[in-house]
Structure 1
Amino acid sequence: MTQQRTGANVLKREITVTVREHSTAPAHTVFEVLADLRLHPGWGGAEASTLLSIEAPPGQATAGTEFTSTAEDAICRMRDSSVVTEAVRPSRFERVTESALESKKKGTQADWLLVHRYEIHPDGNQSDVTYTCRLVRATALPGPLAMFGIPVLRSLAAGEWARASRAGLRRLIVAAQSTARA
């Protein structure tokens, strides 16, 4: 994994968002869609941002697989370097991402360290999927992201992040369900 710039951590504690969805696809199908990194642009990635590009090896990712990607949301553009830290078929998939952000409005730069974890629980021929994203370190919180640094506004910001993450998780579920029907 390519190391990003380093700087002081502006977070007083980690910020965590967890969302859950039910899928009519079996757990192994959800895992296969998730672990095939080169398919992520087809469903957009299950994070709160829009995936623009990905450079990843073909096939199913395993622990130690490294890849890069670019993404954006309404606030920032991101250049990410990730490594898969856990790939336990069909129940868990985790990756750690070093993200270099640049705000669209003022060009403010920040480096973030995020941990993305998917837990897939079988439910007969269906599954329940939990996605947790932990923001572990941040050198800055540009623009509206500064709300994460203000205690009274933190829950508002986390709620918006959860809403966007749920939309991304639903895209993964739709892709898995389409794969299961094919």
Structure 2
Amino acid sequence: MKQQSTAGNVLNHEIAVTVHQHATVPADIVFDVLANLSHHMLWGGAEASTLLSMQAPPGQATAGTEFTSTAEDRICRMRDSSVVTEALRPWMFERVTESAVESKKHGTKASWLLVHRYEIEAAAEQSDVSYTCRLVRASGLPGPLAMFGFPVLRSLAMHEWARANKEGLGRLIAAAETSVRA
């Protein structure tokens, strides 16, 4: 599939997916792994794509922290510029990302605005983590991502996006659980 459109916002409404996972470590441990941006390269980042590079200040990110990264998945390459909008230890971490997306197959380009939100709920000495990724604005939907523009195909695309985000969240949880044992 080719890009749906290149002008303005091709979305009729934002697209969002939420995934959940249980962690066998306290909420503050999960938050600390998540908020330490310079260590994201060690576990790959928790989103659906594979993190390739990151330029971030050392230590724990706070609201207002800015960073850049590059990533890819099987469809696209992304160059991202992000700012942390909320960092409330140990409950919530949110960032807004402006992403320059380029399809691998045809080189079709688009710009996206995404909101990544992690909510961490304490459960005794364990925690439950929810990750929501919202695609708020898109100038285009390259390649197979065009399925999001067709109601009949949207549920298939949402299922795949949720599956990939669940894998990414699993990497975050595994990194948090491993950090306790190290």
2:20 matched to 1:12? no
Write the distance in 1 (CA, Å) between the matches of 2:61 and 2:48.
21
Write the distance in 1 (CA, Å) between the matches of 2:20 and 2:64.
26
Which portions of structure 1, spanning 4 or more consecutive aligned residues, are displaced by more than 2 angstroms?
A: none
8 A contact 1:37–1:60 mirrored in 2: yes
2:144 matched to 1:144? yes
Q: How many residues align?
A: 177
| Alignment RMSD | 0.9
- 1:152 partner amino acid: V
Write the distance in 2 (CA, Å) between the matches of 1:114 and 1:7.
18
- 1:179 partner amino acid: S
1:95 corresponds to which residue? 95
Taking every aligned residue pair, what percent have the same amino acid on both sides?
Answer: 73
Q: Deviations over 1:68-91 (max 9, x none)?
A: 000000000000000000000000
Secondary structure at the aligned position of 1:74 is classed as: coil
- 2:124 partner amino acid: G
Write the distance in 2 (CA, Å) between the matches of 1:173 and 1:99.
25
8 A contact 1:26–1:180 mirrored in 2: no
1:56 corresponds to which residue? 56
1:122 corresponds to which residue? 122
Residue 45 (structure 1) shift: 0.5
1:83 corresponds to which residue? 83
Residue 180 (structure 1) shift: 1.6
Residue 7 (structure 1) shift: 4.8
1:3 corresponds to which residue? none
The TM-score normalised by the length of structure 2 is 0.96
Secondary structure at the aligned position of 1:33 is classed as: helix
- 1:149 partner amino acid: G
2:22 corresponds to which residue? 22
Write the distance in 1 (CA, Å) between the matches of 2:67 and 2:158.
27
- 2:133 partner amino acid: C
Residue ranges of structure 2 left out of the alignment (5+ in a row): 1-5
Write the distance in 2 (CA, Å) between the matches of 1:128 and 1:163.
18
2:3 corresponds to which residue? none
